[in-house]
Amino acid sequence: MHKNYLLLLLLVVLFGACRKGEPAEEHFFGRFQITLLNLPGSGKAEIFLGTEKLGEIVPKASEVLELLLPAGKSGKLKLVDAASSTLIADTNVVVIPNIKQAFRAGYSETLKIKGFISDVNVPQDSIRVQVLYNIRKPFNNHPEADLHLLDLSMEETGIVVKGLKLDDPTPRILTFPRLGEGDFPVGYFCKLVDPKTGETIVDAAGGIFVFIVGVPEYYGHYVFVNINDDQGDTPETNTFTATATPL
């Protein structure tokens, strides 16, 4: 009986020693990785967990905000547009120890997008593109245009996206297989054509510009290509560009 008592006491002491060496849950941490897509018209966003402000993020394709938070912390993760206080996205979360949780959000009145966005299912050897039309300068009075894709010799490919309109993303989705091999990615040039006259819409550079280049980070992704006239404030300096934003 005495031996059994001593054995039980020894087990209790050993168990207590093991427990004493374990850190409490609040000593563990988890990470949130937050990306705000660089979409037309988007701006800086504030990030909250419940009512606590965790930080701010600006919509740059290369910027990712990482937050280190104590494990077990929970609440509603919210992204709010800093300029208008518009709620961009929210979701209930729990910080999991030693785990990184990724959140990708997008906000654009032009694209009619607001919320958390996951990757669209695209084959790894392909690029899926949606074209957005934002030729807005007062001297570029072309509320509608057709987009013609050209090869590297500036010749027509026969690929045409018809009826691009301001603030109205075309529902037509283009899927391109691998555009190039090795270190020489290949893509397309393009031009805008007035559907009423059939004439090329010209800018200060003549009206032909790069549409997309097959860089590795586009493959397996859905890509918004925003055609805009942001470069140059006069007819003599203004040029058209196509800005690609992968989701």
DSSP letter string, 50-108: TTEEEEEE---TT--EEEEEETT-EEEEEEEETTT--EEEEEEEEPPTT-EEEEEEEEE
SS3 category, 109: coil
Type of residue found at 99? I
What is the rounded (10 degree) CA torsion for 71, 86, 118, 53?
A: -20
Residue 14 placed within a domain: no
Q: 14 pLDDT band (50/70/90 cuts)?
A: very low
Same-domain status, 130 and 198? yes
Q: Give domain status of residue 42, yes or no.
A: yes
Per the CB < 8 A criterion, the answer to whether 211 and 3 are in contact is no
State the pLDDT at residue 176: 87
By CB atoms closer than 10 A (0-12, 13-18, 19+), residue 152 is: exposed
Domain count, the chain: 2
The domain boundary, picked from 64, 89, 116, lies at 116
For residue 203, which of 243, 159, 234, 169 has the smallest C-alpha distance? 234
Domain finish residue from 116, 148, 182: 116
pTM exceeds cut of 0.75: no
**Which of 43 and 182 is assigned the larger pLDDT?**
43
**The predicted structure's pLDDT at residue 6:** 43
**What mean pLDDT is predicted for residues 181-187?**
62
| Per-residue model confidence (pLDDT) at position 77 | 96
Q: What is the pLDDT of residue 216?
A: 85
pLDDT digits (tens, 9 = 90+) for 222-242: 888 889 998 899 999 999 999
Distance between CA 86 and CA 111 in Å, rounded? 16
